[in-house]
A and B are shown apart, each in its own frame.
Chain A
């Protein structure tokens, strides 16, 4: 009995240490954003005289609202397109046997081997040729189909009972009808979880948006933040305020849908 207890104490000690390591930087970011100019350079763990000054400065320094809006447009559009293309593709892969299926699976899996850095130059040239630089569409288009999303959707479609699909077909339901009226309502929570992961990834994306947008007014928040970090103004309070603002949407989603998110990351793996 005593032995079991000591193991539990050790377990909790390990887990609490890990949790502190995981969330401390976030805590430090938030409290730094509320420290005033004289306190920011001290190691106090709770702001003695909390202030909004840093936030005011951050909003004055960068078009934060505009950039948050850009991020929101880009992430939403990307998520919708990735879900749409993967629902259609996933349906075809589960529903039919056809010539070239193996080839398509191979092509899909091989994209894991292509790092974005290996295709960024031709893509950059193409986006500029078709005039979509400085445009949210230019950020979204190269990521409109995601292998990760297709294979995840395929996995969850595979477990859907074929008897239900056959029954719907006999009732004269079209393929799109089967997909959107029969399958989708039944695996809604899986699709929602996947959508959340895709949204978070899109929100956090930064290399490609950095190449496509040069003007702050067109850039997502990550790009604004990056140039703020690199600008070497010694305004750490405001920088932490801007950083806090940039991850509020993600943290809110996480706060409300935490279990969903963790479960689906475990199920689908990482991008």
Chain B
């Protein structure tokens, strides 16, 4: 009797523990996705989102980052100061200059090159691709050092060649000249991007169905007409992708070259908005001013990005 009872009780206990463990397993399953995402989310939270919020707060404060001191709230002072700073106005102009200036290198020339070289056979194509890609993998410091040497005012290859060809008779100090400095930084950035963009456009082109071109050719469409009516519309997702990349990243691409070659000068003629943020923060130790600029441009770039996203949804033509 008691034996039977014990068995029944132990069976019941077993059931209860089973239920418990099943419930535990179910709640574990519920938590599992978050557990797997935890490291990434935690790291992005600590090193991206939390500091971004701190920057928004710092934009309204004055602080020199000296340990032991506390930031003082100053309201909109930093924003007012920003617009009274001449270099800041310069930097906005240059940011626009670099952003628009990069488009021929990231979209127009690469697209034409990709079209002009479409249909090349595999192995030859790979050799070219391998060479086109080299600027993309080199460090900004490396590229900066080489260009600085190539454009050296007294002994650089460019000055030597220009004089040998009789184009100029004196040395040009490219990086300390307000006109040349920013064009050179633009060209360097373009040089780094052009090969990469060409490869991206070539890859997109090979995915276009060749039948379209054959049909168009049968209908008597010229090459130029094919480009305008078939190629460009079908490449529009790639074009918009590269446009977004260029706008969001051109200031980051130029940052390194500005820092290495001109430090923003001469007279702020080659600086851009991100370089000003860096200068305010780590040269002038003015965390508030830097954060105000960061906040302002975060908003500007967010609006542009939303706009481009809508544009992509509306105009990108997909060949399904």
Complex contact B40–A246 (CB within 8 A): no
List residues of chain B with CB within 8 A of the CB of A123: 47, 51
CA–CA, A265 to B135, complex, Å? 13
B291 interface residue (CB < 8 Å to A): yes
Write out, one digit per residue, whether chain A residues 93-115 have a CB within 8 A of any chain B CB (1) or not (0): 10110100100100110011111
Contact present for B67 and A111 (CB under 8 Å)? no
Residues of chain A in range 161-219 having any CB-CB distance to chain B below 8 Å: 175, 200, 203-204, 206-207, 211
Q: Which of A8-48 contact B (CB under 8 A)?
A: 10-11, 14-15, 18-19, 21-23, 25-26, 28-29, 32, 40-43
Residues of B within 8 A of A222 (CB): 139, 141
Verify A11–B43 contact, CB threshold 8 A: no
Is B44 among interface residues, defined by CB-CB distance under 8 A? yes
B315 at interface, CB cutoff 8 A:
no
User: Are B142 and A85 in contact, CB atoms less than 8 angstroms apart?
Assistant: no
A207 and B255 in contact, given A23-B131, A265-B136 (Cβ under 8 angstroms): yes
Chain B residue contacts of A29, Cβ below 8 A: 142, 145-146, 149
Contact A141 B47 (CB under 8 A): yes
A159 to B82 Cα, complex, angstroms: 49
Please indicate which of the listed interface residues B40, B147, B255 has the most CB atoms of chain A within 10 Å of its own CB.
Answer: B40
Complex interface: chain A residues within 8 A of B25 (CB): none
- From residue A236, how far is it (CB to closest CB) to chain B in Å? 5
Instruction: Flag if B146 contacts A26 (CB, 8 Å).
Output: yes
Which secondary structure dominates chain A's binding surface? helix
Pick from B34, B126, B194, B200: contact of A98, CB under 8 Å: B34
Contact B298 A118 (CB under 8 A): yes
Q: Does B161 contact A (CB under 8 A)?
A: yes
Contacts A88-B37, A236-B152, A266-B200 hold; do A114 and B52 have CB atoms under 8 A apart?
Answer: yes
Q: Do residues B33 and A98 form an inter-chain contact, with CB atoms below 8 A?
A: yes
Known: A85-B43, A89-B37, A122-B50. 5 other contacts (CB 8 A): A14-B117, A18-B132, A122-B54, A206-B140, A229-B141
Q: What are 12 A-to-B residue pairs whose CB atoms are below 8 Å?
A: A28-B149, A92-B37, A115-B298, A118-B277, A145-B40, A206-B140, A206-B141, A222-B141, A226-B141, A229-B141, A258-B133, A262-B130
